[in-house]
Chains A and B, each alone.
Chain A
Amino acid sequence: MMRERIQLFLLASCAWISIAITLAIAVALLQETVSFFREVSAAQFLLDTEWTPLFWEKHYGIWPLVCGTVITTVISLVVAIPVGTTIALFLAEWSPRSLRQIIKPILEILSGIPTIVFGYFSVTIATPLLRIIFPSLPGFNALSAGVVMGIMMVPLMATLVEDALSVVPQSFREASYALGASRLTTMLRVTLPAAAGGVVAACILALSRALGETMIVTIAAGQQPRFSLNPLQAVETLTAFIAQVVMGDTPYGSIEHRAVFVVGCLLFLGTFTLNVGSMWIRERFSSTR
């Protein structure tokens, strides 16, 4: 009895510690956010179109950072979702086992590459290649960072979608073939829709990953907050701003430093909403089954 109680206590405290840490982070973020808004009005934060906390003339309009994050995220998803899903479909429905045994390890290697390498790759290889299509592309730009971020997320997307496809019962495919459907028709009309919940959840996870990705955009996107959605110029994302300030020599407790927490708070809210959303979607899809 005693032993069981101790075990239960240990397990419960582990669970509580993780909850406590999450709460502590949320409280710290909120505290700094509140003191930030004592000095900067919410109106300026939401209506100003410039973000220049590190300059002499300070502006605290959040939209340029949001724009930077939106552009790079959208570009990365445009790359990762179709490519990742296609690879997953190929692996799960089409490829012979021998080919699968070659492709899977390659994907795993790709997902093991440190993001700093992807960032470097974006500046030294992706940008010069993209210049073939867009000759006026600056050295640091949202397009290249987004594309490379998308390539980085392909293995994640492929793995998650393949998992979703692999739980689709074989009997659905057989029923479709027995009605005279081809492999492609079966894949697009039966297997993929049956896995829709998992595919949507995978997309949301990729989105959340893209929002939080820091290293690639810090290195390759240019660190220039800009109120524009043009992907062919330098931008700064929410995460890149945090990295810039925290690694710089901004004094602790200053308003610039507090700005980091506000941005962090915003990111936290974003990913929190996405996670709740993905949970909701998964539940909805599973209840219609």
Chain B
Amino acid sequence: MGQALKKEGVHEIVSVADLNLWYGSHQALRSISLSAMTGEVLALIGPSGCGKSSFLRTLNRMNDLIPIVRVEGRVIVMGQDIYHDGVELAELRRRVGLVFQRSNPFPKSIYDNIAYGPRIHGERRRSELDGIVEQSLRRADLWEEVKDRLSASALGLSGGQQQRLCIARALAVRPTILLMDEPASALDPRSTAKIEELIGMLRGEYTIVIVTHNMQQAARVSDRTAFFCDGSLIETGVTSELFTNPRNAQTQDYITGRFG
């Protein structure tokens, strides 16, 4: 299916219309309408607390874990309104992976970390799991570094390796969309470069929505960029245009470093 969609070119794989989100009485997102195209890298930028992470987490309904959250609006992911009743949460989250800001491998072996996702979705065959583990680690560009110690604890890896392990873990359940919540903000420059390189490798094969407050990073990795401020979507555009020729004064101020 993904292949067919790619051939069509521009196709909205994520389409959000008039999204409002509250934490208790505090409104964190105001009337957001934003789409992501199949295979693109969409960057969400904006100052801290602007709602970009909240937006990201509505796309796989991770906000559900916070009891006081209330969501209104239409969030269509792969043709399905995900806030509709009968939505299979397990299947949604399998198809929309999430990589967190701080790497969070389980206190298990490298192998078991990757195999966790496929296992909970019912894969039992050892040979199949072996294949998934290798393939996922290769995609996350970690295989060569860990292939001789798959049974070692994942917590023995360096910070950058742990984050790539988490990406591999997310890829292991064969998602279509990958959400990344400031995936490199806790890493040193070299590991950050590695993660960015990886995003470049994954582009096209997956649709990636990445939150970052590093504007150079957004400029380097993304096709399109959306600028959030105070819970509102200020401007969306092709990354190169948004950074060189912003239409909105607020965007201009932010990207030139006047606030944020």
Contact = CB atoms under 8 A, between A and B. Distances in A.
B60 A178 contact: yes
A181 to B, nearest CB: 5
Nearest to A197: B107
A87 to B, nearest CB: 22
A190 interface: yes
B173 A180 contact: yes
Contacts of B97: 178-179
A177 B116 contact: no
Interface residues of A, number: 19
Interface in A146-185: 169, 171-172, 174-182, 185
B120 A180 contact: yes
B104 A175 contact: yes
B104 A182 contact: no
A193 B108 contact: yes
Given A180-B89, A180-B120, A185-B120, A289 B94 contact: no
A177 B92 CA distance: 11
Nearest to A181: B120
B100 A174 contact: yes
Interface residues of B, number: 28
A289 B65 contact: no
B90 A180 contact: yes
Interface in B205-250: none
Nearest to B166: A175
A179 B104 contact: no
B120 A179 contact: yes
B106 A172 contact: yes
Contact of B170 (A178, A189, A288): A178
Interface of B: 60, 62, 65, 89-94, 97-98, 100, 102, 104-108, 116-117, 120-121, 153, 155, 166, 169-170, 173
Interface of A: 169, 171-172, 174-182, 185, 189-190, 193-194, 288-289
Given A175-B169, A181-B120, A193-B107, 12 more contacts: A172-B106, A172-B107, A174-B104, A175-B166, A178-B93, A179-B97, A179-B117, A180-B91, A180-B93, A180-B120, A190-B116, A289-B155
20 contacts: A171-B102, A174-B100, A174-B104, A175-B100, A175-B169, A176-B106, A177-B62, A177-B93, A178-B60, A179-B93, A179-B116, A179-B120, A179-B170, A180-B90, A180-B120, A180-B173, A181-B90, A189-B120, A190-B106, A193-B108
